A and B are shown apart, each in its own frame.
Chain A
Amino acid sequence: METAAYMEKDDSLRRGLTAGLSIAFGYMPVAITFGLLAGSTGLTVFEAVLMSMVVFAGAAQYMALSMLAIGAGMVEIVLATFIVNFRHLLMSASIQERAEPSSKKFRALFGFFLTDEVFAVSSVKQPPISGNYILGVGLSAYSSWVGFTAAGFYTGALLPGVLQESMGIALYALFIALLVPSIKEEGRPVVVLALLGGSFHWLYQLFLDTGWAIMSATITAVIVYELVDVRRRKKR
């Protein structure tokens, strides 16, 4: 009996690792780009790989680079990271409702890997979701993220100077590329939210430091959107 239970556990970890390969593949270009940009922003390979190992959050890491590039303070970057990654609270809660019971230590372990993508792949499973399965998905994604950060860092050094100069656009291109699929899928709300965020940032950066301006703009944008949306729905 004990052996059977053990083997079942082992199997869900393996199935998780396999399911996570889709994310591993998807992360590859994003991590290579991150490593490459980290190099051009002035981080060492140690710092770039450490960030991928410790933080494991694409959008926040890209944001940290763009904030470092414009000379934002370290405390601002940490706070902005908190704001950007706060959304994982909801995903963690949703997993908590549907995951197989397990020890707190074990939940604290697989919780580390809960990116948007790991959450998405894990949560389409029928509950109860095995913790080992989530851990497997997370480990696949994580290996790719960390490994290709290092790979990207070194390919960046091979680039000629003219190309490097044009790379100032890379982060913006990436953010646009992250927005476009959501615009295609959900349309107007995404466009309006992005425009609100951008407009308030434009306003706030006139009198606030960049990090604080981004955070304030984000909070104002979601509040304004919610207020307008509620009013509009009441009118109907």
Chain B
Amino acid sequence: MNEAVVWMIIGMGIVTYIPRILPLLMLSTENWPSWLRRMLARVPYAVLGALIFPGIIFAYDAVWYGLLGGAAAFLIAYTGAPLIAVVAGTILLLTGINLMM
């Protein structure tokens, strides 16, 4: 057990908990400007994009390897497969290619 990691987890818990309860305890968002509400709603997509790029390109020594994995994940996810199937399928595909080379 790493003490610094435990403190990090407690910090993550606090900053997650506060936005979840603050409005419940004291706020009405009726007065909020609509542009701010729109921007907040779009945060998850922008975050996901930032988490994928450019990391996926530099995840392996060979650029195409990560991109191939990304393309595979996209196609599997597009079929409507559950999350675990997308992740497992992508891992298995890359493992297979790894073994062949």
Interface bin, chain B? 35 or more
Interface bin, chain A? 35 or more
* Cross-chain contact B77 with A177 (CB below 8 angstroms): yes
* Cross-chain contact B49 with A221 (CB below 8 angstroms): yes
* Cross-chain contact B86 with A223 (CB below 8 angstroms): no
* Cross-chain contact A104 with B95 (CB below 8 angstroms): no
> Does A198 reach chain B (CB closer than 8 Å)?
yes
**Which of chain A's residues 194-225 have a Cβ closer than 8 Å to chain B?**
194-202, 205, 213-214, 217-218, 221-223, 225
* Cross-chain contact B74 with A180 (CB below 8 angstroms): yes
> Does A1 reach chain B (CB closer than 8 Å)?
no
Residue of B11, B27, B77 near A78 (CB, 8 A) is B11
Question: Could you tell me the distance in whole angstroms from the C-beta of B32 to the nearest C-beta in chain A?
Answer: 8
SS class of chain A's interface: helix, strand, loop or mixed?
A: helix
> Does A120 reach chain B (CB closer than 8 Å)?
no
* Cross-chain contact B69 with A197 (CB below 8 angstroms): no
* Cross-chain contact B9 with A54 (CB below 8 angstroms): yes
Instruction: Specify which chain B residues have a CB less than 8 angstroms from the CB of A111 in the assembled complex.
Output: 17, 20-21, 24-25
Residue of A74, A174, A226 near B87 (CB, 8 A) is A174
> Does A22 reach chain B (CB closer than 8 Å)?
no
> Does A15 reach chain B (CB closer than 8 Å)?
no
* Interface residues, chain B, with chain A CB atoms under 8 Å away: 1-2, 4-13, 15-17, 19-25, 27-29, 35, 37-56, 59-60, 66, 69-70, 72-74, 76-78, 80-87, 90-92, 94-95, 98-99
* Interface residues, chain A, with chain B CB atoms under 8 Å away: 29-30, 32-33, 43-44, 46-47, 50-51, 54-57, 59-61, 63-64, 66, 70, 74, 77-79, 81-97, 99, 104, 107-108, 111-112, 114, 162-163, 165-182, 184, 189-190, 193-202, 205, 213-214, 217-218, 221-223, 225-226, 230
Q: Nearest 6 pairs between A and B by C-beta?
A: A198-B53, A29-B84, A197-B49, A194-B49, A197-B46, A54-B13
